[in-house]
Amino acid sequence: MSTTQTVQDTSAAPAAPVAPPNGDVLPGGTTITDAPPKSVKMKGVDVNVFYGDKQALFDINLDVGERQVTSLIGPSGCGKSTFLRCLNRMNDTIDIARMDGTITIGDQDIYDPSIDVVELRARVGMVFQKPNPFPKSIFENVAYGPRIHGLADNKNDLEEIVVTSLQKAGLFEEVKDRLEAPGTGLSGGQQQRLCIARAIATSPEVLLMDEPCSALDPIATAKVEELIDELRENYTIVIVTHSMQQAARVSQRTAFFHLGVLVEVGATDQIFTNPRDSRTRDYITGRFG
Amino acid sequence: MTDIASASSGGSADPDLHTSDAARRRLKARYASEFRFKMYGIAAVLTAGFFLVLLLSTIVGQALPAFVSHQVTIPVDLSQETLDPDNQGESVLRRANYDAVVRDGIRSLYPFAESRDDRRTVSGLISSGSAVRVRDAVLADPNGTIGQTSFTVPLDDTADLYFKDQVSDERRVVPTGTATPTGTQGTIQVLSTANDFRGLLADVKDFLAQDAEGVERELAGKERSLERAILDLASYQTRLPDVAESRRNFFEDQINILERGIVSLNRDIENLTAELADLQARSQTAGAEEALSTALPSVLVEINGGVVKASRISATGIEGEVIIPLQSTAAAVGEAWSIREIVLPERNRKLDDRSIVYLDLLAEQDRVERTFNTVFFTSGASREAELAGIWGAVVGSFFTMIVTLSLAFPLGVAAAIYLEEFAPKNRFTQIIEVNINNLAAVPSIVFGLLGLAVFLNVFGMPRSAPIVGGMVLALMTLPTIIIASRAALRAVPPSIREGALGVGASKLQTVLHHVLPLAMPGILTGTIIGMAQALGETAPLLMIGMVAFIVDVPSTPLDPSTVMPVQIFMWADFPEVLFRQKTSAAILVLLAFLITMNALAVILRKRFERRW
């Protein structure tokens, strides 16, 4: 959904970057509100993405800090989901999508021909906007990833991985008696936590979340947010969200996208209390978007 | 319009906008049109249902008689001495004269049938395949069969129909008088003391009157033709002197033809006039004695254990030929004799009076039994209606479907997966897609031509074989399966693909583990629809020789065979009533298979849907 909107919205020419009142400005016109994270897990350099003839992202330079939550905010169609999907090459599945620039994980360029996309996606897991458990049992949902990557040597190992993943996703207590029940029979919030369990079952280094709570009610959202906060200890998390409160609650760093341009990036409290770019300020104060 | 626009734009809506009379009328009109639409739908459904019921009831009504058959038990001499006097075993048994065994057996029931014609009539009562039946039984179980003194064989198809009351209407007259036959054999008279034959005579006269009407119509037609011919002739003759030299020959030919035609028309008219006069005279002289012919209803008199077929009839008696000899010339009173009228004239039916009388004798002796028609379900094709069965075609269809399924399903699903999930979207794949869609619309006979040209002529595969039929039908079914499978694959939500790709499944794993299982119900539905289409297909199979007359039931897909729809097509061509009935019965069998396949599709889908 968000990608198609991206296409439409970016057909308009990007707004000329407004010179920020102070702070550093990167080549793409991005305002850096604070120093980059101490330890960088993933790094995007001059990322441009095109859908056919339309450019969806313009010279994005963004560092993703290790073991912290980076949230991407911005109005619909601003390119935040597109950027997220570049991080595990999910955009490869779209025929007309084309990307240039470099994205690295550790020191490796993820778009390097020597990188196997299957391996990459095992390292960079993803949780989607709409809970999408496989129409299989809860156990199978979680076991699928480890199984295809050959992470478990035997059945016991596999069971352990499944149980651990479900525990980490905070779902185990709720479903321990019905691991063979279909995953699609769970409630929306449970399904989304099942998807998170599924994503962390392959022990990824980075976890991408594309508006994970937009289809959930407030209680389920609270649980998922709590979970994200716990997962931060072990995983690098990038989350796209429409809810600025959510970004403020769960993330340590926030990046604001607008019309395909990364407008401002910085520590979350900094961005929300003292944005330097006028567009960021307008957005977080609800003047547009 | 402007009111509404201003009202809505102004924000203060007219309070009567939705409650005024005009609004009520609009609402009413809306409901009325909805009601009409519903009624059209119901009418359409009812019409379709009516025609379906009509179709099914016609077919079932036609088919039901074909599911039973009549068999007759005849005495046979299957002694060791007759068949294999020197006890040499199978080789001699195989060559023994079973025709004679059967013929002698049935003839022994009619000792009085001495003339050649009568004996031929007797042999014609049972199926001509009887001897083969006996031989097969003997060869299959020599010990059990040799020494048997009776054997059950199928009746001939017309005889079978007679016992199903499908030969002619019959009327029995209960006589009141006392009848006296003048002899027991040959041509005799049976005279009654009362006017017991008056009703029959009147029937005959009615028949003559009807004939007379027919002749009158024919006569009128001939007269019109004559008039026209005379006019034409006159016109040619008047124009002849003025006509150009080059066309003179043509004119003279025409005049010759017309003159000859007029002569023959005049002769016909003369004959018809005489016939009409005769018929009218005979039909109008009520009570006068009348000669019977094969063009008139038959009258049979059963008296003193014998049967006489009338050749002349009067109000009080008949003269006729004895078919079954009478036991005596004693006078018969009341129920000891009866008169029977077979309404359909003898020349208009397959079974003559003599055969009918002979069959009645069999029935009287309790030799005829009515059984479920196992022959129909167990044997292959035959020229004899009573021996023809659907089993050969069923097995042929089965082999053909196996070949079709095993070729079309994997190929079709693989093609659909490639095109839907892997193929790049470019001009080339677009051309392939368009062509697959076009292929689905190609007339099936074209696939038959392709099979003939490629499979038979180039590859030299066997003619009439289910393997070739299956290959041709697989070509025909492929587009259906591909299109249905692609639709089913496309219907799988993209979130499933993303989920699988997101945990690092490769494209093929995504498809095989997640997409294909979800698409399977749709794919199976498409496949079964395609197979049902293939099962009912006739035209392409005609082209590759599956229309051949094949008696043996095929045992492998390489044996020549036919399939059910082609069998139906062939049977529909035969004139015999029993073949017509078997055509309907075969249609029912085909329908049963189709319904079973559809039921299977539903069950499979349910299974899959429950599992996921």
Q: What is the pLDDT of residues B560-577, one digit of tens each?
A: 999 999 999 999 999 888
Mode of pairing for the β-strands spanning A236-240 and A69-73: parallel
| Residues of A whose CB is below 8 A from B498 | 90, 93, 126, 128, 132
Say yes or no: B512 contacts chain A, CB-CB below 8 A.
no
Nearest chain B residue to A128 by CA: give it: B499
- Per-residue pLDDT, B13: 67
Q: Is the pLDDT of residue A287 over 60?
A: yes
CA distances from B320 to A90, B189, B194, B291, B358 (A): 101, 6, 18, 10, 17
Nearest-angstrom CA–CA distance, B406 and B418? 19
Which positions 189-208 of A are in contact with B (Cβ < 8 Å)? 195, 198-199, 201-202
- pTM (predicted TM-score): 0.79
| pLDDT value of position B248 | 84
SS (H, E, C) chain A: CHHHHHHHHCCCCCCCCCCCCCCEECCCCCEECCCCCCCEEEEEEEEEEEECCEEEEEEEEEEEECCCEEEEECCCCCCHHHHHHHHCCHHHHCCCEEEEEEEEECCEECCCCCCCHHHHHHHEEEECCCCCCCCCEHHHHHHHHHHHHCCCCCHHHHHHHHHHHHHHCCCHHHHCCCCCCEHHHCCHHHHHHHHHHHHHCCCCCEEEEECCCCCCCHHHHHHHHHHHHHHCCCCEEEEECCCHHHHHHHCCEEEEEECCEEEEEEEHHHHHHCCCCHHHHHHHCCCCC
Q: List pLDDT tens digits, range B479-491.
A: 999 999 999 999 8
Residue A3 in this model has a pLDDT that exceeds 60: no
pLDDT of residue B411 exceeding 90, the answer is yes
Least confident of A9-13, A85-89, A219-223: A9-13
CA distance B481 to chain A (A): 25
Task: Provide, rounded to the nearest whole percent, the portion of chain B with pLDDT above 90.
Answer: 39
Task: Look over chain B and give the mean of its residue pLDDT values, rounded to a whole number.
Answer: 88
Name, of A173-177, B35-39, B59-63, B65-69, the range with top average pLDDT. Answer: B35-39
Q: Which residues of B38-71 are buried (b: 16+ CB within 10 A; e: fewer)?
A: eeeeeeeeeeeeeeeeeeeeebeebbebbeebbb
Nearest CA in chain B to A197: B503
A97 forms beta bridges with A51
Picking from A3, A85, A91, A93 by the largest number of B CB atoms within 10 A of its own CB, the best residue to mutate is: A93
Q: Is the pLDDT of residue A20 over 70?
A: no
Verify whether the Cβ–Cβ distance B506 to A118 is below 8 Å: yes
Best probe of the B interface among A129, A144, A198, by most B CBs < 10 A, is A144
What is the reported pLDDT for B217?
Answer: 93
pLDDT in the model for residue B114: 85
| B523-543 tens-digit pLDDT | 988 899 899 989 999 999 998
Predicted local distance difference test score (pLDDT) of residue A25: 61
Closest by Cβ to B496, choosing from A93, A127, A132: A132
How far apart are the CA of A133 and the nearest CA of chain B, in angstroms?
7
- As to burial, measured by CB atoms within 10 angstroms (0-12 exposed, 13-18 middle, 19+ buried), residue A40 is middle
Residue with tokens 């000899």: B325
Q: How far apart are CA A10 and CA A261, in angstroms?
A: 10
Q: What is the pLDDT of residue B417?
A: 95
Hey, are the CB atoms on B499 and A195 less than 8 Å from each other? yes
In this complex, do A133 and B424 lie within 8 Å of one another by their Cβ atoms?
A: no
| Cβ neighbours of A202 in B, within 8 Å | 503-504
**With contacts defined as CB-CB under 8 Å, which chain A residues touch B425?**
95
pLDDT at B7: 44
Task: Answer whether B504 sits within 8 Å of A202, measured CB to CB.
Answer: yes
Contact between B499 and A198 using a beta-carbon 8 Å cutoff = yes
User: Does residue A144 sit at the B interface (CB-CB below 8 Å)?
Assistant: yes
pLDDT for res A12: 39
More confident residue, B503 or A95: B503
Chain B residues within an 8 Å CB radius of A132:
493, 495-496, 498-499
Residue range B91-136, pLDDT digits in tens:
888 888 888 889 989 999 998 888 898 899 999 999 988 888 888 8
pLDDT digits (tens, 9 = 90+) for A249-266: 999 999 999 999 999 998
- Interatomic CA distance for residues A57 and A47, integer angstroms: 7
Q: Tell me if chain A has a CB within 8 Å of the CB of B424.
A: yes
Which of A43, A40, A13, A18 is CA-nearest to residue A31? A18
The predicted structure's pLDDT at residue A27: 57
What pLDDT was estimated at residue A9? 38
Averaged pLDDT, A160-185: 90
Q: Is 80 exceeded by the pLDDT of residue B165?
A: yes
Min Cα separation B426/chain A (Å): 10
- Give the position of tokens 């017991």: B196
**With an 8 Å Cβ cutoff, are A149 and B514 in contact?**
no
**Chain A from 219 to 238: CB within 8 A of any B CB:** none
Mean local confidence (pLDDT), A112-137: 90
- Residue B4's pLDDT is 47
Q: Is the Cβ pair B504, A95 closer than 8 Å?
A: no
pLDDT of residue A102: 92
Confidence of residue A2 (pLDDT cuts 50, 70, 90): very low
Element (H, E) at B171: strand B170-173
pLDDT of residue B415: 94
Q: What is the pLDDT of residue B2?
A: 45
Structure tokens at B14: 């007219």
pLDDT tens, residue by residue, B274-285: 989 888 888 887
Q: Which of A135, A145, A195 sits opposite B612 (nearest CB)?
A: A135
Which one has a higher pLDDT value, A54 or B6?
A54
Do A121 and B424 lie within an 8 Å CB cutoff? no
DSSP code, position B382: -
Q: Which of B135, B136, B144 is nearest to B98 (CA)?
A: B135
| Banded model confidence at residue A8, pLDDT cuts 50, 70, 90 | very low
> What is the model's pLDDT at position A30?
73
Contact yes or no for A90 and B498 at CB 8 A: yes
Q: How confident is the model at residue A35 (pLDDT cuts 50, 70, 90)?
A: low
Cβ within 8 Å, pair B518-A135: yes
- The residue in chain A having the minimum alpha-carbon distance to the alpha carbon of residue B421 is A93
Residue A197 has pLDDT above 80, yes or no: yes
- The verdict on a CB contact (< 8 Å) between A128 and B497 is no
**What's the confidence (pLDDT) of residue A1?**
37
User: Range with the lowest mean pLDDT among A18-22, A200-204, B255-259, B445-449?
Assistant: A18-22
> Which of A122, A134, A149 is nearest residue B499 as measured by Cβ atoms?
A134
Residue B520's nearest CA partner among B439, B608, B419, B428 is: B608
Average pLDDT over residues B9-21: 71
Residues of A in contact with B422 (CB under 8 A): none
Confidence of residue B146 (pLDDT cuts 50, 70, 90): confident
Give the pLDDT confidence score for residue B193 in this predicted structure: 86
- Per the CB < 8 Å rule, is B493 touching A132? yes
Residue B505 to residue A148, Cβ atoms within 8 A: yes
pLDDT at A97 over 70: yes
- pLDDT at A11 > cutoff 80: no
Mean pLDDT, residues A258-286 taken together = 89
